[in-house]
Amino acid sequence: MKKYYFVILLCFNLVVGYSQSENIENPAILKQFQNLYNTSQYDKIHASFSDFAKKNLPLNEMKDFLTKLNSSYGAIHKMELVGFKDNFDVYKTDFDKGVLCLYLALSDTKISGIYASPYDASKFPEIKRNVTPMQLPFKEEWTVFWGGDTRILNYHVVSNFQQNAFDIVINKEGKSYKTDGKTNEDYYCFGKEIIAPCDAEVVFAIDGIKDNVPGVMNTMFLLGNSILLKTKNEEYILLAHFKQNSLKVKQGDFIKQGKLLGLSGNSGNSSEPHLHFHIQNQESFDKAKGIKCYFDSLKVNGTLKKNYSPIKGDKITNYF
């Protein structure tokens, strides 16, 4: 059977919100899209579009696109995130009659853009994960502010070396600070102990950079007070934004899992006290690719998880 590739591209600017939220919208949008597509409820798909998308892709054109797509490829069985292009999340999509790349732009609870193209596996290498067993680098319960594989969950995904990064804070009653949030000491995580997630060698340890006033970032020293660790499996772990003069390790140290590294702070490119944590595949930030981090054993929203990579909104703590 001859297969046709139908492409509809919506040109738009996707506005990414940086306000804190614990709503995880992408899985629900994808499930809804797949169910509506498979049951030919194209009107309802169009209703889930943003106002801008509706204006640029009239209902009749969208129905024609999806009808032809369904006729040529059949129902969707599986959608797997494999990459990002411009403002689109790229999903390897298994249909009855073949595999395509489905490009979706998702903004909050709306679809802002959609198009399809042939799937080329060589363009989307599998995201590497850590081999070295990891524990969370803190002792108390923290909340994932950014984390996951999509833009809505994690704004880091567009950066090669930190595409699987976490930004983590301590929240109580939905807030990361006690009163008005105008001082670092007002934030629950400021000054909390940060510990080694695994056995490793200290590649560098930078200290002495002043902590920022909340809301004012230091764009000259982006990492702030920071530590880069190297595991025996050639994984490089960055922990950033430590409190000034709090580091307890130095370059060349060989440390054990659980070793005190320093205290959580607000140095570098940071608007409020938090911990930035990610793994990359080599020392050079210019050439490195991010490695997805799975932790061995932890509690997530009160439930024990094994071999789990946290996402935005998760409340996480170590489980020994």
The domain spans of the chain are: 26-123, 142-318
The CATH homologous superfamily of the domain defined by 142-318:
Glucose Permease (Domain IIA) (2.70.70.10)
Q: Which amino acid is at 11?
A: C
Eight-class DSSP state of 172: B
Q: Is 35 helix (H, G, I), strand (E, B) or coil?
A: helix
Residue 98 pLDDT > 70 = yes
CB neighbours of residue 38 within 10 Å? 15
What's the pLDDT score for residue 21?
Answer: 30
Provide the terminal-to-terminal Cα distance of the chain, rounded to the nearest Å: 56
Concatenating the DSSP letter of every residue in 38-90 gives HTT-HHHHHHTB-HHHHHHS-HHHHHHHHHHHHHHH--EEEEEEEEEETTEEE
Q: Is 107 helix (H, G, I), strand (E, B) or coil?
A: strand
Q: Please state which of the four CATH numbers 3.10.450.50, 3.30.2130.30, 3.20.20.70, 2.30.30.100 is assigned to the domain occupying 26-123.
A: 3.10.450.50
Q: Give mean pLDDT, residues 98-112.
A: 85
Of 235, 237, 211, which is closest to residue 224 (Cα–Cα)? 211
Measured CA to CA, the distance from residue 269 to residue 63 in angstroms comes to 45
Q: Give mean pLDDT, residues 31-48.
A: 94
Measured CA to CA, the distance from residue 198 to residue 247 in angstroms comes to 17
**Residue 86: pLDDT band with limits 50, 70, 90:** confident
Residues 137-155 as b/e (b if ≥16 CB within 10 A, e otherwise) read bbeebbbbbbbbbbbbbbb
Is residue 218 within 8 Å of residue 244, measured between CB atoms? no
What's the pLDDT score for residue 26?
Answer: 62
Residue 18 pLDDT > 60 = no
CB neighbours of residue 229 within 10 Å? 26
Residue 248 pLDDT > 80 = yes
Q: Is 34 helix (H, G, I), strand (E, B) or coil?
A: helix
pLDDT-wise least confident of 30-39, 102-111, 223-232, 260-269: 102-111
Is residue 48 within 8 Å of residue 32, measured between CB atoms? yes
- Give the chain's mean pLDDT: 88
Measured CA to CA, the distance from residue 167 to residue 148 in angstroms comes to 11
pLDDT in tens, 192-233: 999 999 999 999 999 999 999 999 999 999 999 999 999 999
Domain 26-123 shares a fold with domain 142-318 = no
Of 200, 207, 245, 236, which is closest to residue 224 (Cα–Cα)? 207
Q: pLDDT above 70 covers what percent of the chain? A: 90
Q: pLDDT above 90 covers what percent of the chain? A: 73
Measured CA to CA, the distance from residue 155 to residue 165 in angstroms comes to 9
